[in-house]
Each structure stands twice: as structure tokens, then as C-alpha cells.
Amino acid sequence: MQGEELDALLAELRQRPPEQVVKLCHVVHLPPREGKGDRFLINVLNGSYVLDLATGAVSDAVTHKASQPKLAQLLIKYLARFQGGKPGEWIPLEKFPRGQVYAGEIMRRAYRPLIEQFGYDPVGFDASCKAIDGEKEKLGGLSFSFSLFPMIRLLLQLWAGDERTYRSPTANMMFSNSYLNVFTAEEAVDSAEFLVSELIKIKKKGGKTF
């Protein structure tokens, strides 16, 4: 997403009545006070981020650190474009327009790092998923679902490898149907990469969320 596109999304968001954004996106509007302008508070996985509507800056609500640029772009687009409705059924990346073009990208940016860290560590995978509020799903392999944003969800599946039987680990990700109304295939891959990076951070911290 280029700077001009992001500026256009911010302009679009500023035209939406705050109460509409709150109702459709399930976020909190923070009205101007103490020298601070309009802001939105948004749950992201197990944390919260604040968007300053005037500047477009997105920061962690607790640490006040700036968010990753790609996460900020996804968050702003969600607030500007989401029209409401439930997350819906799970869909693979291939169901997105031009989704097949990004098969290599999701392998390189999400599946490969995930397998490198958790491919032979199902216990660590389980702990890391639970640490960022992943919900266990009764699907194939070790399956967890996550709320990237309140109405935007991801499904992550890991089939752990076994060195004794030479079974290689594999992974899969799917996206809630609500993605299709807001995000492109490339942005779906961006969100997959973000989720995996958060899981890896938790593992490196020993499963702790601070």
C-alpha cells in the first residue's frame, strides 16, 4: 500500500461517523480530550492499539510503541472499509481474487518461519497460540483461530513433524469470509505474516506475553 492510498483511506475514515465505525467494527471511539484528538481503540489479537485519526499514527495502547507499518495499514483499512457482518466461514487464500499468485508469498513469509520454529515443537506451538488468545478448533492437526481485528479472523493449522518416522511438518492458514469485503490477497498474506511473527516472539520470550 503506497502513501497516497493510505492517505486516501484515512480521508475516507474521517468521513465515517464515529458511531458507525464503533457499531460496524466493534471498536471504541475516544473523543478529543486533554489536547488529544479523535482516536479509536482496537483489539488486535490479545492486545490493543490506538489510532490517532488526525495523524494516522497507530501505536500499542500499553507501551505506546508505534505498530508495524503493515499492521497499521491493515487496521486503518478495516476501520475505513468494513461494512459489518459476522466473520463467516473459513476460506483459503486461493479463493481471493488473484490469490493463487500469492501462494509462494504465504509459503515464504508465513508457513516457512512457522515450521522452522514450531514444526517439531507442538507443545510450544500450543502454548504460544494460547498466549495470544488463540481458540482451539476441532479441525485437522493442531488448529487455532485468532481475532486479528474484532470481526476479522484467521485459522492456523500445524501438523507437527516426527524425526523418528521422517514425517515432515506442514502448515495451513485460512481466513474468515469477512476478509473478502475488505482485504486483498496480498493483505491477507501480510496478516498471516504478522500472526506468525507474534507467535515466534512469544516463543522466544518463553511463552510469556510481557
Instruction: Output the domain CATH number for residue 140.
Output: 3.30.310
Pair (161, 114) in one structural domain: yes
Pair (197, 97) in one structural domain: yes
What range defines the domain where residue 105 resides? Answer: 90-204
Among residues 61, 81, 101, which one ends one of the domains?
81
What are the cell numbers at 42? 482496537
Residue 136, φ and ψ in degrees, nearest 5: -65, 135
pLDDT in tens, the chain (210 residues): 567 888 999 999 999 999 999 999 999 999 888 778 899 999 999 999 999 999 999 999 999 999 999 999 999 999 999 999 999 999 999 999 999 999 999 999 999 999 999 999 999 999 999 999 999 999 989 999 999 999 999 999 999 887 787 889 999 999 999 999 999 999 999 999 999 999 999 988 874 443
How many structural domains does the chain have? Answer: 2
Pair (102, 143) in one structural domain: yes
Pair (102, 159) in one structural domain: yes
Pair (138, 42) in one structural domain: no
